[in-house]
């Protein structure tokens, strides 16, 4: 199960990064598959509202709404991918004071504070291999 979580996390991270690059490099109408799905879902949401008579059409800010939705999905996928990577190995994240492996909400908490660069230092990676996304934060303890 640990290997499966690791593989799923790495694949999800690579697919999301690939989608980001593909979308940024291809300035024509061809976006990455994730971006395409999100923008299509947003468009279909507003089209369905129009068909039901709840609005006269897509809002003027449809482009901004799509861009924001795509950004949120990318960030959520990256956070989920790193969470799966860290949770794939018990002991990948440890308490900085005791050195004991963390459990429960500590892994998603660690994942989000590393990605947000908040880095309080309550939890740290147990080995250098787990420090890849945390390269700028020296290990305490």
What digits encode the pLDDT tens for the residues 49-91? 777 776 666 678 888 999 999 999 999 999 999 999 988 888 8
Tell me the pLDDT tens digit for each residue of 84-133: 998 888 888 888 888 888 887 888 888 888 888 766 667 777 766 666 55
Both 49 and 107 in a single domain? no
Mean pLDDT of 33-60: 82
Provide the pLDDT for residue 60: 80
Q: Does any domain span residue 126?
A: yes
Q: Does any domain span residue 81?
A: no
Both 100 and 135 in a single domain? yes
Provide the pLDDT for residue 47: 83
Residue 140 has pLDDT above 50, yes or no: no
Provide the pLDDT for residue 11: 97
Domain that holds residue 126: 89-141
Q: Does any domain span residue 79?
A: no
Q: Which of 74, 102, 117 is the last residue of a domain?
A: 74
Q: Does any domain span residue 29?
A: yes
Q: How confident is the model at residue 141 (pLDDT cuts 50, 70, 90)?
A: very low
Both 50 and 109 in a single domain? no
Q: Does any domain span residue 80?
A: no
Q: Does any domain span residue 128?
A: yes
Q: Does any domain span residue 84?
A: no
- In total, how many domains does the chain have? 2
> Which one, of 48, 9, 16, lies nearest residue 32 by Cα?
16
Q: Which of 25, 51, 74 is the last residue of a domain?
A: 74
């Amino acid at each position: 199960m640990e290997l499966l979580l690791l593989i799923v996390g790495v694949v999800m991270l690579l697919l999301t990064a690939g989608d980001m690059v593909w979308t940024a490099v291809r300035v024509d109408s061809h976006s990455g598959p994730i971006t395409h799905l999100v923008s299509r879902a947003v468009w279909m949401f507003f089209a369905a509202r129009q068909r039901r008579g709840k609005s006269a059409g897509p809002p003027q800010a449809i482009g901004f709404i799509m861009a924001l939705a795509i950004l949120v999905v990318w960030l959520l996928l990256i956070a989920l991918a790193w969470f799966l990577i860290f949770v794939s190995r018990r002991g990948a994240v440890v308490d900085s004071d005791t050195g004991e492996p963390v459990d429960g909400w500590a892994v998603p908490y660690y994942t989000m504070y590393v990605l947000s660069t908040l880095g309080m230092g309550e939890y740290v990676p147990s080995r250098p291999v787990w420090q890849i996304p945390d390269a700028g934060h020296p290990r305490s303890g």
